[in-house]
Amino acid sequence: MDHPLTVSHPLTGGRTRQYAKSQWLFVALLVYLLICAVGIIGGGFKAATGDQARELFTFASNPFAGLVIGTLATALIQSSSTVTSIIVGLVAGGLPVGIAVPMVMGANIGTSVTNTIVSMGHVREREGFARAFSAATVHDFFNILSVVIFLPLEMAFGVLEKLGGWLAAPFFDLGSASINSLNFVKAATAPIVNTAKQLPALLGDQAGGILMILLGVVLIFIAITFIGKLLKKLMVGKAKQIMHTAIGRGPLSGIFSGTLVTVLVQSSSTTTSLMVPLAGSNAFGLRQIYPFTLGANIGTCITAVLAATAVIGNAQAALQIAFIHLAYNVLGVIVIYGVPFLRPLPVNAALWMGDKVAEHKSLALVYILTVFFLVPGLCLGISSLM
């Protein structure tokens, strides 16, 4: 029973509810802005490149270059949702799906730099730092292993491209009941996107198109940053509830909880960074955190799928790349977590790395610079010479 003193005043309670309602309205507005922004990028890319998108991105037709672009862009922007949403927009504007696939793989690697930096906050306590750094890098090692497995498969057989195509096709093969005729969101975003499309008419196709792309990127960044901040506040109670439910249950429950929490807060970086203090305090072991981290990879795909449902232009390809991102992350979990000899590899590597950086703390900096910037930069340089 509530203590009489803890019962909120009807006016205060009403004000709180009203405040929450206004925050949710703001979230809805930001989601609308995000979808508009993806459409603006698509329109801008189409205007700027005409039918030359493939030629323009010839430098990225080498899959390693695409992978590096995705990694570097995400490591710098600190948000895989932003980068994958931009990629969806570019695909809608004519970027070939095959070129975009390694980019979304790279976005997965790039996003894990955030929690690695967060783990550096634990540097003052040796054991805690080792645990925190391991909790952060288990995500890095999983994502790198995932690329090692799936990039060659993609290069040889185009597995993900085909899978994404199959998943997207039903939404466009239903005749009159297709996604286009039922898409109210597209109709709602059309006024904003069409207004932005006046830019090429005013400034010329190329300058106007580039300006549209820049505008779209800025809007996506703003929308995703504020959605993340607001949802973090609004959904913390729900996230707590989900995590409480997962305690003492198996890894599947951990994966599911990680997915749900990430969908709620719309950011895999938030979920994986949250694991860092939980591991640092020693309440959660690395083997408990690992499945939760994998769930974060799956949950983060929802943003791009949402954005892809309402793009203007090559909508089927946009939905295809969003589904490729989802399929890649789901398959990564199934293969790496499902195959017994692969499952412990990220955990063992992260534990080893945690011990090493606790011993020689400057190695943490070397690790970040090497994995997220130096190696991708070198790969980019080498692939441009090929």
Partner 1 sequence: MPDIKVLTSAKLEEMIHETEVLLARLKAELERRRNLAQTQEINRLEKHLDESEFSLATLKDFIDYLLRQMR
Measured from the CB atom, is 175 or 248 closer to partner 1? 248
- Is 274 a binding residue for partner 1 by CB under 8 A? The answer is yes
How far is it, in rounded angstroms, from Cα 225 to Cα 4? 39
Measured from the CB atom, is 196 or 243 closer to partner 1? 243
How far is it, in rounded angstroms, from Cα 58 to Cα 60? 5
Q: Shortest approach of partner 1 to residue 198 CB, angstroms?
A: 37
- Is 281 a binding residue for partner 1 by CB under 8 A? The answer is yes
- Is 347 a binding residue for partner 1 by CB under 8 A? The answer is no
- Is 270 a binding residue for partner 1 by CB under 8 A? The answer is yes
Q: List the one residue from 121, 170, 191, 204 that touches partner 1 (CB under 8 A).
A: 121
In sequence order, the 6+-apart residues with CB closer than 8 A to the CB of 227 are: 27, 30, 31, 34, 266
- Is 240 a binding residue for partner 1 by CB under 8 A? The answer is yes
What tokens does 151 get? 């990039």
- Is 300 a binding residue for partner 1 by CB under 8 A? The answer is no
Buried b (16+ CB within 10 A) or exposed e, 358-378: beeeeebeebbeebbeeebee
How far is it, in rounded angstroms, from Cα 114 to Cα 31? 23
Question: Which of positions 62-81 make contact with partner 1 (CB under 8 A)?
Answer: 78
- Is 115 a binding residue for partner 1 by CB under 8 A? The answer is yes
- Is 221 a binding residue for partner 1 by CB under 8 A? The answer is no
Q: Shortest approach of partner 1 to residue 248 CB, angstroms?
A: 5
Q: Shortest approach of partner 1 to residue 225 CB, angstroms?
A: 11
- Is 124 a binding residue for partner 1 by CB under 8 A? The answer is yes
What tokens does 83 get? 């980068």
What tokens does 45 get? 């890319």
Contact letters for partner 1, residues 348-377 (x by CB under 8 A): -------------xx-xx------------
- Is 112 a binding residue for partner 1 by CB under 8 A? The answer is no
- Is 20 a binding residue for partner 1 by CB under 8 A? The answer is no
DSSP letter (8 states) at residue 249: S
How far is it, in rounded angstroms, from Cα 201 to Cα 225? 31
- Is 145 a binding residue for partner 1 by CB under 8 A? The answer is no
- Is 146 a binding residue for partner 1 by CB under 8 A? The answer is no
Stretch that binds partner 1, among 43-51, 144-152, 215-223, 273-281 (CB under 8 A): 273-281
Measured from the CB atom, is 54 or 232 closer to partner 1? 232
What is the total count of residues that contact partner 1 (CB under 8 A)?
A: 31
Measured from the CB atom, is 183 or 269 closer to partner 1? 269
Q: Shortest approach of partner 1 to residue 143 CB, angstroms?
A: 17
- Is 54 a binding residue for partner 1 by CB under 8 A? The answer is no
Measured from the CB atom, is 59 or 126 closer to partner 1? 126
Which stretches of the chain bind partner 1, using CB under 8 A? 78, 114-115, 117-118, 120-121, 123-124, 232, 236, 239-240, 243-244, 247-248, 269-270, 273-274, 276-278, 281, 283-284, 361-362, 364-365
